[in-house]
Every structure is written in structure tokens, then in C-alpha cells.
Structure 1
Amino acid sequence: MQFSYLVTLALASVVRGATLMEAIASQSTTLSTLNSLLAEQPALMQMLMGAKNITILAPSNDAFASFVQSPENKAAAADNATLMAVLEYHVLEGMHMSSDFTTKMEFFPTMLGASSNMTMGSMMMSNMSLSSVTGGQVVGGMKMGNMVEIMSGLKETSMVQTADLMFEGGVIHIIDSVLTIPKMPSVSAVDSQLTALAGALKATNLLMAVDMLKDVTIFAPSNAAFKAIGSATGSLTEQQLAGILEYHIINGTVGYSTLLSMGLANRTLPTLEGPDLRVQATGDKIFINGAQVQIADVLVSNGVMHVIDAVLNPANTTATANPTATTPAVMFQGAAAASNVPFTSGISATTTAPSATTQTAAAGLSVEQPAVGAIGAAALFGLVIAAL
């Protein structure tokens, strides 16, 4: 594996100084589909040809072939607006060589939803309807052994197959699957099997309000967390439940795990409800008040979502982390577990995504993730939860 990867790198360097079209054409056996799709988007192609200092994550022919196997994806790929958004999400600001990636997850702004101040040229295109993140929707990237892994929406991952194809405007990395554009929080919650959270948001009429926020960090209690306080949920008024949910949302700050573990560690952050949350980083763990982040960095259309192991209580802001504890901190005194997960009636997960099953130690650390293919574009661009 290591030998073949190094050979690939050596071959890739041959096209240094080529135009974008020449670089793509030099890889006709793997990038002919991308070449054809770009030909159908002349405005985007013109912008890319004139851009400087960019990185293109180029899905291979096999990646596109796998992507369009379902009728929904095939229809989505035939829609110009959808196709444009998909392609924009594969273009990164800045030139990132394979050697620049580290064993810690880092996050890179893409062209999708990017503001005009990005350094991709005056013809920057924008699709704000699919991204409410200042500076553009992001992808994650990290080194996995001798390979580079790219993480997109719902923690779907793609591996770089051929790295460092140079062209005059930047660099191309050929990847093995089409990236998944992050969904709105309400859809991501269902697809991540956080059905209690989705049901609670529905019960308080907060679904659309949360989806329409910009630059958010959502601390999403797992179904087990809601079940653990099930005896208390039945007596909550709609207003009380709404206040609890709003206490889990930071508006105006996108706190990816890298930021939580460093820049925001041991600091307090204001919530939509009003009272502050406290972020604590201890070793390879991140705590929010007394709740631990179990699954970090589920990218959503307007920011990021982290799955936590307890429901936070705005009336108990002094709960603190215990890194050695084997059970979550008590947030609701006297609450007992229910036999069923509350708020889930009539709501079911639409897919089993890595975001529902992939636990991380936290904080973008060197935690191995499974590489899986992209999910269907019909769900990827869904603007409503059918089950709701």
C-alpha cells in the first residue's frame, strides 16, 4: 500500500504547471466523468480556470458511477443547481498538499456558500441555500497512515486515491467517493438516529427556527440521554422543553472539535436560552458542563453538531465534568430512566449514517474512522423530514 501510494505521488507531479483542463485530461481513465460534468457547467469551469491557490477534491469515475446507481441520485446529478452545489463542495480554499494533512482532523472551507472575500477570484460563486456557515461550508481532513481521509456531511468519509496532481491554479486530489453535503440540523438529527432530539424540536416548533440559524454549534443529546431522564420529560411544558433545547445551542460560533479542545477549552459560551455553557477539555475528552462529547463533528448546513451523553439543564449550570466517571453526570435531580425513549413517536431514522455509530475520543484527535461511500443525493438535499 505504501509503495503504490508513493508511486502515485511521483506520477502526479508530472503535470505540474499544466492548466486545469490539461491536468484533468491527463487522468482520463479516472476523471473523464468529472471532465464531462464540468463541461456542463461553463461558468464554474471558467471560474476554476482563473482561480489561484485552490484544492480540488476530484471524485473518480468509479465514485460517480457508484453515486448515480440509485434513481434519486441520478436525477439529482441531472439537475444543474444540485450538480453545481455538489461540485462547489469539492473545491477548497487554499492549496493543501497531501503532506500538509496531519493525524488530527482539520477543517477546510469550500466554495459552497463561500463569501466574496475568499481568495478564489472575483467570480466566486455562492450557494447560500445549502450553507449558512460564514466563509463557506467545510470538509474535514486528516492523515490516516499513508493516506488522506476527507470527512463530509454525516461523517461520511472518502479516501484520496491519487494525491498532488498539480495545475497552475492549485492541486487536485482524486477521491474514491462523492462527498456528502451537510444537511440541515433537523435532517441530520434523524439521519444520525437522534430521533428524540428531532421529536423534541418538533414538539416545541423549533425545527425550522434551528435550521434557519447561522453559524451554530449544537450539543445534541443521544437517545440514551433522553431516555435516562424519561420520568421528567412528561411533566415539562412546551416552554420548559424549548428552554432546555435552546440551552444546547450556541449561535454565532461554529465550534468544531479542534476549537473546543483548544481555543474554547475551559471557557463559557452563551446559549440561545441565555445561561452559559462551560467547555472543558481533559486529555482526549471534551465535556460540556457535565456531559461528555461522544461523537464529534457531525457537519450540518449551518455549523456543526456534537453528540453528548446527557441532556443539559439550564437550571443546573454548575454541573461539572468528571473525566474518570463511568456514567454521565446527574443534570436533573430525581429523574429516572423511562422504559421508552421520549419524543420518538412517529419518528424513525431514514438511514444508518456513520454519524450515528462512529464514536470519537474527541477533539479531532487521531481516531480512526471507517471509510464509507456517500449517501443518496435525494436525502442529502432534503429540506424536510418526511417522517415529521
Structure 2
Amino acid sequence: MSLSAVLTANNNTLSTLNSLLATQPALVSALTSAQGITILAPSNDAFDKILSTTAGKALAADPSMVTALLQYHVLNGSVPASAFTTTAQFIPTLLTNTSFANVTGGQVVMGILSGKTVEVFSGLKEKSTVTTADVMFSGGVVHIIDTVLTVPLSASASAVDSELTALAGALTQTNLVTTVNSLQDVTIFAPSNAAFQAIGSATSSLTTNELSSILEYHVIAGTVGYSTLLTSGLANETLPTVLGGEEVAIESVDKKVFVNSAQVTITDIIVANGVMHVIDNVLNPSNSTASPVVTASTQAVAFAGVSSATNVPFTSGISATTTAPSASTMTAMAVGGMPSAAVGMAALFGAGAAVVVGF
């Protein structure tokens, strides 16, 4: 069957998708002639959860955002349900518009098998479940999903919605927001609020240059290190950061990943220009040889002579009106394994996030 015939035959479930596609003749033409693609088709109920909101109505009225959203639901390659395993796969999509994605080869989704069910994770670790798999058509396969994918946000906006407000505030304070958001193919090791709080006594005395150096030491440009790569090709390697090439060491032990002496606690927050992993310590470029005690439940901070602060630093004026699944350690996973269920649905394209200066 042709794609058109399949969508028509499933119109009772996919009428909203069909209506949106009708506004996108160029995309429909491309999909009709394409070979070897996978369409993750949100059901009517999935779209109802979005389009009934004020933000969703604004989305539907913006053709460029509709195009980006629909492109993000098309995978490069024919991927039947049987191709998904309990190891995460990061699959490129047709979303290559640099206004929404700055990742070589197209923005990705994460697919994984949970029991007998295929789950797909998008921006902010939002989970979509395949409810009807393997609807075949001449150009590939359609999987019907229960939740519209969330197009990954910028790194800074993702930090806000992931409750990494200390990081977001520090980026704002150092005027690094635009710099970090505009880099291509990044891996960001994002310290949790608790990590910044643990060095709280030192934060007030840091100069802007010192704080900038610390933040730049957490960013790798040119390598998108998804969790599966951290435990294989990049395991026990060093990676150059944007701090003049100063390196961080990656260590993988018993499904745990460490960066210098910090442990990765939440993996694979897909952002517009790469991926972000939450870590439990702030990295110190002046202590680049810090290494973990892999059997310990917590690691010593990498800064000498510091003490914890009562309040989380850098968070004044930084807030969000939505909390995404990426904020919860419930969504952390043994790296390369299966994440647990998402705990809520963040707004599409970041709608609902508080407006923060510089973001």
C-alpha cells in the first residue's frame, strides 16, 4: 500500500495527523516518494493532549513549527518493531532545520524495548509508547504512538525545565547562553543543583572568567556522546572540552559512567545541538586528574577547602513553570539500559517554560 492509502485506512485514529499533513504539501511529496523511512504517527488522542492548549494552538498556526514537528516524527531508515532492543538506539530523523536542530545527520530520537513494548524518548526525556506497530507501506513502516514527540530544546532551556537551574543561572551570569546554544554536536555534562550547592562557599568569590572556565570545562563540541557511546567507544578515553582543549576523562565501570570524579546520574537529555547528561559533581579544570572511587556511593568534591551552601547558587530569577521528566532521577538509567517511565509531559517546543532573560 502507498503511504496515502495507509494513512487513509487509519483515518479514524490518525485524522489529526492527516489534517496537519494536508497543510504541508512539500513534506507530503517528499514522504510519498521516500524509501526506507519510519513514521512515528501520533494518534488523535496524542494530538488532543497538545492542541487543546494555548501553546498547541499557537503551534498549529505556525507552518514552520508544524513542519519541524512532523519532520521529527520521521526516522531515516525502515525500523520495524523487531529492530528495537533493550539497548538504547539513537535514530536520526528528517529534522535538519538548524532553527530547531544543530546536529550532524539530523536530530535523533531514542528508541528502546521495554518488555514487549517499544518506547521512544524525545526532548526532555518525554516518553512516547508505540501502541500499534508495523503498519507497512511501500516506502517503509508506520508505528502509531500515544504521545506527540517533544522537539528538543536549546541546552539552556532544557537545563531550566530539567531543574538544572544553577547551571542555567551560571550560564546567564557569564553570558555563555548563546555560545553554548549555538555550538554544533555537543556533549554537555551538567552538574545538578546539589552539585553546585556542594561548592557553595566558593561560588560567590569566583570571578566571571573563573566561572566561565569552569562551565566551558563541562562542554565537549564536535562529539555527541550518547550513553551507549560513553560505555563503548568513548569509555576510558579523554575528550577535549571547549576550554582550550582541556580534557576530561571518561570511565565506565559496571554500567556506571564517571567524568573525572563526577558520576553521571541522568543520561541522554536530547537537546537541540546534541546531548546533555547530569552529573553529581562540578568539574574543576584546575583538578583535571580527579578520579572516582567507583565503589563509593558519593564522590568527594573536586574543589579543595569548600563547604556546602544553604541555598543553591546562581538561581536568582531562574525558574520554570513546567518540570520535565528529565528533572527526575526516576528517569535515570543504567547507562545503555532501559529508563523507567517518564513522570509527566513537558510542553511541546518548551511552551510553558518561564521566560528567562537570555534564553
Checking the alignment, whether the CA contact within 8 Å between 1:347 and 1:387 is kept in structure 2 is: no
1:363 pairs with 2:335: yes
Provide the rounded CA distance (Å) in 2 between the counterparts of 1:93 and 1:107.
11
- What SS does structure 2 have at the residue aligned with 1:48? helix
Checking the alignment, whether the CA contact within 8 Å between 2:331 and 2:339 is kept in structure 1 is: no
Provide the rounded CA distance (Å) in 2 between the counterparts of 1:223 and 1:73.
31
Matches within 5 A, 1:51-62: 51-62=34-45
Counterpart residue identity of residue 175, structure 2: N
- What SS does structure 2 have at the residue aligned with 1:143? strand
1:310 pairs with 2:281: yes
1:350 to 297, 318, 321: 321
Provide the rounded CA distance (Å) in 2 between the counterparts of 1:378 and 1:294.
23
Provide the rounded CA distance (Å) in 1 between the counterparts of 2:135 and 2:207.
58
| Change beyond 3 A, Cα 1:21–1:32 | same
- Deviation per CA, 1:252-289: give whole Å up to 9, x if none: 00000010111100000000113100001111111000
> Which residue does 1:220 correspond to in 2?
190
Q: Please, which moves more after superposition, 351-360 or 279-288?
A: 351-360
Counterpart residue identity of residue 334, structure 2: A
Matches within 5 A, 1:66-77: 66-77=49-60
- The offset of 1:87, in angstroms, is 0.2
- The offset of 1:361, in angstroms, is 3.5
> Which residue does 1:179 correspond to in 2?
149
Provide the rounded CA distance (Å) in 2 between the counterparts of 1:383 and 1:193.
12
TM-score for both structures, normalised by structure 2: 0.96
- Superposed CA RMSD in Å reads 1.6
- The offset of 1:362, in angstroms, is 3.4
- What SS does structure 2 have at the residue aligned with 1:63? helix
Q: Structure 1 unaligned runs (5+)?
A: 1-17, 114-126
Checking the alignment, whether the CA contact within 8 Å between 2:325 and 2:346 is kept in structure 1 is: no
Counterpart residue identity of residue 55, structure 1: T
| Change beyond 3 A, Cα 1:326–1:214 | same
- What SS does structure 1 have at the residue aligned with 2:136? strand
1:234 to 187, 199, 204: 204
- Deviation per CA, 1:261-318: give whole Å up to 9, x if none: 1110000000011310000111111100010000000000000000000000000011
> Which residue does 2:236 correspond to in 1?
266
> Which residue does 1:156 correspond to in 2?
126
| Change beyond 3 A, Cα 1:277–1:56 | same
Counterpart residue identity of residue 153, structure 1: G
Matches within 5 A, 1:1-388: 18-113=1-96, 127-273=97-243, 274-357=245-328, 358-370=330-342, 372-373=344-345, 375-377=347-349, 379=351, 385-386=356-357
Checking the alignment, whether the CA contact within 8 Å between 2:198 and 2:308 is kept in structure 1 is: yes
| Change beyond 3 A, Cα 1:374–1:94 | farther
Checking the alignment, whether the CA contact within 8 Å between 1:285 and 1:361 is kept in structure 2 is: no
Provide the rounded CA distance (Å) in 2 between the counterparts of 1:289 and 1:183.
27
- The offset of 1:172, in angstroms, is 0.2
Checking the alignment, whether the CA contact within 8 Å between 2:325 and 2:343 is kept in structure 1 is: no
- Give the number of equivalent residue pairs: 357
- The offset of 1:146, in angstroms, is 1.1
Provide the rounded CA distance (Å) in 2 between the counterparts of 1:279 and 1:369.
27
| Change beyond 3 A, Cα 1:94–1:69 | same
- The offset of 1:347, in angstroms, is 1.0
Aligned sequence identity (%):
57
Provide the rounded CA distance (Å) in 1 between the counterparts of 2:355 and 2:346.
20
TM-score for both structures, normalised by structure 1: 0.89
- Deviation per CA, 1:127-170: give whole Å up to 9, x if none: 11100000000000000111100000000000000000000000
Checking the alignment, whether the CA contact within 8 Å between 1:54 and 1:91 is kept in structure 2 is: yes
- Deviation per CA, 1:6-45: give whole Å up to 9, x if none: xxxxxxxxxxxx0000011111210111111111110000
